[in-house]
Chain A
């Protein structure tokens, strides 16, 4: 005897897991489904028996419960590149595999008898298979051979849900497995190697046994004269014809896939069903088919959708031949079966997830430093970043009154060099580039072709034909794609190196930032919006003088390998200056007091420079740059809304709070914070312009309400309006 399945093992002991129905033992029918080791809907005929396996019947008259057994070890995945995959190892499959091997091909075979089930053929082509210990992804170079054979047709007649009904092939298997069959009556093709009484005629019904109403006691057939004959029995063997298991072939149309053996058989069409259950999974009867047909559901897909026949665990294996026969009998052309979709053999989500990973979130070289300092880390802009170090107020105060450092390694950084570098940047940016002197930096918006702001950053000139560009953390990936695409499209002679990950960056900011840098060995710090090089605390750095916090700031770009040395050096040298790191939460507060926008947070999909009140960053007199035509076009239309700064007394409203002018909604808050320095809340938010009336132009509201509190729009920030601190 070969491997015993759970089903044969139980049947040998006279135990049933389900009500009944014609068992096929080929993995096609839904009559042996049970919960095995906590997984429901397992085909016990395909599950090798072993001791200590937990096998439970599904709840009688109800669906299995949704529950988890807790932890399970992840299922491993295997990828195999080969020449040929042969699915199915019956005689035809074995022969096909041998032939391919003889031709010197690297062949992988899948044998469902060994628990290797192909669940689908996907574009690639890719054959995915579930095996007993892992999930296989097979990439065949030459060919996929499908040798999945054919399934046996199920009986449709009253009583087809009794126990003791077995397909002809299954009868042979059960007899060989030592299952007691008793008196066997064979309808249709008789079982091989089993003593059975062959009977013929039209199948009328199965009758229960007197001793056990759940078991079959007789099968009734009608002869050609219309006379019914009852054949007492313990087991009915049903050889009603074959229907190819061709779902894999059908889902692989257009790929190099070939069927061999029984899978190519034309499907047998059973007689039109007259009575009884057609779809055991969804409980659809012949009467149901008649009913929906009479109501206008006349094609296969509509019958399926109306009755839900074919949508259960056997995916139509039991019912589709009969529904086709039914529809053909109503005068339709014999309909083609449903579209074949994966999965052709069921598997758990845990199995199908084998080999998958979450999208990894990168960490800066200072990640361990932040965690050691007790930082609360957050995913932001595509990176793990410190949100705070436990005391946002102290972090804020350090920047405003002393000195603080911040890990800004996530900023996009790129070098562009080459004869056409200036030409490229003139095209990409809405401000003049050629006039930028070496050693100087310029704030830039990056516009897309719709004239919308896609990102912002700096352009720094390092030489005649060499530039450093910076981008926001969230925008750097897009920026690389964007710059390379334009360089290639315009056929420009440039070299581009994305150094976002290569370089660490630490921002040293605060009224005492310069003092700290001098201690760290910088003799001549660059002036505002200038850059230079220096060795800082022993680490070679490029220094960029700018300001996002509103205080004197130096961004120190350096090799990622040196980040920890530089960070620790600054912390040590600045200890008596009260240096402490600040996280993003403090940074949000600091920049908002300055009214600086964050692209992505304060901007929207359709934020033009005009809507952002950033027209100063666009020089339309430049003859051409990306987005110029769109800005000229949209500037002709009236402005509808603008990003504005607001102030209000009392606590800061939640970001996303709505802004009202009386009872009218006029916009919402994109950024909001309490300003300790000003003693009130400051906000950025979108506001819709209001009709001016009497032919006056539309205007922005001045006094609005947010969260039920009065707020006022300010045209100029209250905190250091002249920007004196940053330039100090």
Chain B
């Protein structure tokens, strides 16, 4: 039997949609399912439905580049992502499922004096808040990743890098399934192919959702949708500081493992890694104009391939297998938005932009605690929606990067 199949979970789908749940979570991606999982496992709240318009993990959870890191630029973000990174490290043990988690180390490369300054600053703030990151010189970089062209084709010489040894990756689908299985085993309902078409209201309050499978009453409704959150929020007149952008990536064929770390370059705007199956996974920055289209672009593929070869010349002879596009919800300050919305009984976890995968465990855990206790946990309090009105934005240079 195929080794991938052997270690797979059992998904026990509910036989029917109930007319009411304590909690309805919209969006069966990593964040929605992790929230359901922690509601069930940590708080004993199991009368929960996760409503997914496609199949679980069919949105950004299944389209991302699976990078886990905590080397952000502001203390609030470093704390949050470091917590998430540590939770990822324990996820296999906790769920009893193989999510193909591997610590790889992450190099963030500087090609200029300004880049050096930025990477030194990144190392400082991360180390100060418990996420080990050190500034490394070219010789150390070469030891960590011998495949790098230290001259950047003579155009983008490598001056130094910040090195984040705990940078990791995991198999995106398996993370989604581990949470889905764990939640469903405790009685959570996950309804695939069910789309939310509206909200049930009682005055200001949200009291449930209208879906393609009928009306569902709910004590609390949580939006954990990626990309389309403003459209959903507009159904209750809620305005969000979110724009939706396309993010593209591509993979090559599979090759024998030889490329250890995750490598990112702000100067070149690309990053590359070799996940467990052996393909090289390469991504770049978001497309600039907001869009919900899933079209793959040629100029992205061409330019991204070109830039990645400048960093890693061996890529030139690898064969491109497939490119794809996801649509990311990007907040006005490039940080996530979690918690209360001002609309009673409606919560959001959104603004996950290009960095949602790494936040799945902590995002789910903290949202579950908020739902269970009705109070915002300290770890995510800085990421509340009202920060924009309160002039307390979480602008993060370490987040506005590429992955």
Contact between chain A and chain B defined by CB under 8 Å: yes
Q: Give the B-binding residues of A (Cβ under 8 A).
A: 38-42, 59, 62-69, 72, 120, 122-124, 126, 128, 137, 251, 282-285, 287-288, 291-292, 295-297, 299, 301-302, 305-308, 311-313, 315, 339, 341-343, 346-350, 352-358, 378-380, 387, 585, 604-606, 608, 633-634, 637, 640, 654-658, 665, 668
- The reply on B1 being an interface residue by CB < 8 A is yes
Also in contact, A350 and B309, with CB within 8 A (given A606-B333, A656-B121)? yes
Report A633 CB to chain B, min CB distance, Å.
Answer: 8
**Closest 5 CB pairs between A and B?**
A656-B121, A296-B11, A605-B395, A356-B306, A68-B314
Q: A95 CA to B10 CA in the complex, in Å?
A: 53
Contact of B121 among A67, A285, A665, A668 (CB under 8 A): A668
Report A488 CB to chain B, min CB distance, Å.
Answer: 19
B8 and A292 within 8 A (CB): yes
Q: A355 CA to B55 CA in the complex, in Å?
A: 39
Report A715 CB to chain B, min CB distance, Å.
Answer: 24
- The reply on B235 being an interface residue by CB < 8 A is no
Also in contact, A64 and B316, with CB within 8 A (given A292-B5, A301-B58)? no
- The reply on B53 being an interface residue by CB < 8 A is no
- The reply on B4 being an interface residue by CB < 8 A is yes
A66 and B298 within 8 A (CB): no
Contact of A353 among B253, B305, B323, B395 (CB under 8 A): B305
Q: A128 CA to B296 CA in the complex, in Å?
A: 12
Residues of A contacting B2 with CB < 8 Å? 282-285, 288, 307-308
Complex interface bits, B244-275 against A, C-beta within 8 A gives 1, otherwise 0: 00000000111110110000000100000010
Q: A284 CA to B62 CA in the complex, in Å?
A: 20
Report B272 CB to chain A, min CB distance, Å.
Answer: 10
Report A658 CB to chain B, min CB distance, Å.
Answer: 5
Residues of B contacting A352 with CB < 8 Å? 301-302, 305, 320
A634 and B323 within 8 A (CB): no
Also in contact, A656 and B120, with CB within 8 A (given A40-B319, A285-B1, A307-B2)? yes
- The reply on B202 being an interface residue by CB < 8 A is no
Contact of A605 among B58, B122, B393 (CB under 8 A): B393
Contact of B125 among A301, A379, A656 (CB under 8 A): A656
A353 and B302 within 8 A (CB): yes
- The reply on B343 being an interface residue by CB < 8 A is no
Complex interface bits, B385-399 against A, C-beta within 8 A gives 1, otherwise 0: 000001111010100
Q: Which of B254, B259, B324 has the most CB of A within 10 A?
A: B254
B316 and A349 within 8 A (CB): yes
- The reply on B124 being an interface residue by CB < 8 A is yes
Residues of B contacting A355 with CB < 8 Å? 302
Residues of A contacting B293 with CB < 8 Å? 123
Q: Please, could you name 29 A-B residue pairs with CB atoms under 8 Å apart, sorted by A?
A: A41-B319, A64-B255, A122-B296, A123-B295, A128-B298, A288-B2, A295-B10, A296-B10, A296-B12, A308-B2, A308-B277, A315-B321, A342-B296, A342-B298, A342-B322, A348-B320, A349-B305, A352-B320, A353-B302, A353-B305, A355-B302, A356-B306, A358-B156, A378-B114, A605-B397, A640-B392, A665-B75, A665-B129, A668-B125
Residues of B contacting A68 with CB < 8 Å? 313-314, 316-317
Q: In the complex, what residue of chain A is closest to B152 when comparing beta carbons?
A: A358
Q: In the complex, what residue of chain A is closest to B149 when comparing beta carbons?
A: A68
Report B180 CB to chain A, min CB distance, Å.
Answer: 9
A353 and B295 within 8 A (CB): no
Residues of A contacting B289 with CB < 8 Å? none
Q: A373 CA to B248 CA in the complex, in Å?
A: 44
Also in contact, A288 and B318, with CB within 8 A (given A380-B113, A654-B124)? no
Q: A574 CA to B121 CA in the complex, in Å?
A: 40
Report A46 CB to chain B, min CB distance, Å.
Answer: 13
Residues of B contacting A640 with CB < 8 Å? 391-392
Q: A40 CA to B318 CA in the complex, in Å?
A: 7
Q: A64 CA to B123 CA in the complex, in Å?
A: 36
A291 and B55 within 8 A (CB): no
Residues of B contacting A668 with CB < 8 Å? 121, 124-125
Residues of A contacting B120 with CB < 8 Å? 654-656
Query: How many residues on the B side are at the interface (Cβ–Cβ under 8 A)?
Result: 82
Q: 10 new A-B pairs (CB below 8 Å) besides A63-B255, A126-B298, A284-B5?
A: A38-B317, A68-B313, A123-B295, A288-B5, A296-B11, A296-B12, A353-B309, A356-B307, A357-B306, A668-B124
- The reply on B155 being an interface residue by CB < 8 A is yes
Contact of A63 among B173, B278, B324 (CB under 8 A): B278
Q: A283 CA to B277 CA in the complex, in Å?
A: 13
Residues of B contacting A315 with CB < 8 Å? 321-322
Q: In the complex, what residue of chain A is closest to B4 when comparing beta carbons?
A: A308
Residues of B contacting A64 with CB < 8 Å? 253, 255-256
B13 and A380 within 8 A (CB): no
Q: A378 CA to B110 CA in the complex, in Å?
A: 12
Report A450 CB to chain B, min CB distance, Å.
Answer: 9
Q: A342 CA to B318 CA in the complex, in Å?
A: 16
Report B199 CB to chain A, min CB distance, Å.
Answer: 28
Report A156 CB to chain B, min CB distance, Å.
Answer: 15
Q: In the complex, what residue of chain A is closest to B323 when comparing beta carbons?
A: A342
Q: A128 CA to B253 CA in the complex, in Å?
A: 20
A297 and B298 within 8 A (CB): no
Report B249 CB to chain A, min CB distance, Å.
Answer: 11
Q: In the complex, what residue of chain A is closest to B279 when comparing beta carbons?
A: A311
Contact of B320 among A287, A347, A608, A655 (CB under 8 A): A347
Q: In the complex, what residue of chain B is closest to A77 when comparing beta carbons?
A: B302
B316 and A72 within 8 A (CB): yes
Report B56 CB to chain A, min CB distance, Å.
Answer: 8
Q: Which of A128, A297, A637 has the most CB of B within 10 A?
A: A297
Q: In the complex, what residue of chain B is closest to A298 when comparing beta carbons?
A: B13
Q: A605 CA to B335 CA in the complex, in Å?
A: 12
Residues of A contacting B274 with CB < 8 Å? 66
B125 and A658 within 8 A (CB): yes
- The reply on B140 being an interface residue by CB < 8 A is no
Report A310 CB to chain B, min CB distance, Å.
Answer: 10
Report B106 CB to chain A, min CB distance, Å.
Answer: 18
- The reply on B350 being an interface residue by CB < 8 A is no
- The reply on B330 being an interface residue by CB < 8 A is no
Q: In the complex, what residue of chain B is closest to A123 when comparing beta carbons?
A: B295
B117 and A343 within 8 A (CB): no
- The reply on B240 being an interface residue by CB < 8 A is no
Contact of A606 among B301, B305, B307, B395 (CB under 8 A): B395
Complex interface bits, B313-352 against A, C-beta within 8 A gives 1, otherwise 0: 1111111111110000000011000000000000000000
A346 and B321 within 8 A (CB): yes
B256 and A65 within 8 A (CB): yes
Report B44 CB to chain A, min CB distance, Å.
Answer: 24
Q: Which of A62, A67, A72, A313 has the most CB of B within 10 A?
A: A67
B254 and A63 within 8 A (CB): yes
Report B141 CB to chain A, min CB distance, Å.
Answer: 18
B395 and A343 within 8 A (CB): no
B317 and A350 within 8 A (CB): yes
A348 and B317 within 8 A (CB): yes
Q: A640 CA to B390 CA in the complex, in Å?
A: 11
A341 and B258 within 8 A (CB): no
- The reply on B374 being an interface residue by CB < 8 A is no
Contact of A356 among B13, B56, B303 (CB under 8 A): B303
A66 and B318 within 8 A (CB): yes
A356 and B11 within 8 A (CB): no
A353 and B306 within 8 A (CB): yes
Residues of A contacting B155 with CB < 8 Å? 358
- The reply on B57 being an interface residue by CB < 8 A is yes
Q: A387 CA to B173 CA in the complex, in Å?
A: 47
Report A362 CB to chain B, min CB distance, Å.
Answer: 14
Q: A311 CA to B280 CA in the complex, in Å?
A: 13
A341 and B5 within 8 A (CB): no
B319 and A341 within 8 A (CB): no
Q: Which of B259, B294, B323 has the most CB of A within 10 A?
A: B323
Contact of A637 among B294, B323, B390 (CB under 8 A): B390
B55 and A302 within 8 A (CB): yes
A287 and B321 within 8 A (CB): no
Also in contact, A295 and B254, with CB within 8 A (given A126-B298, A347-B319, A604-B395)? no
Q: A251 CA to B322 CA in the complex, in Å?
A: 13
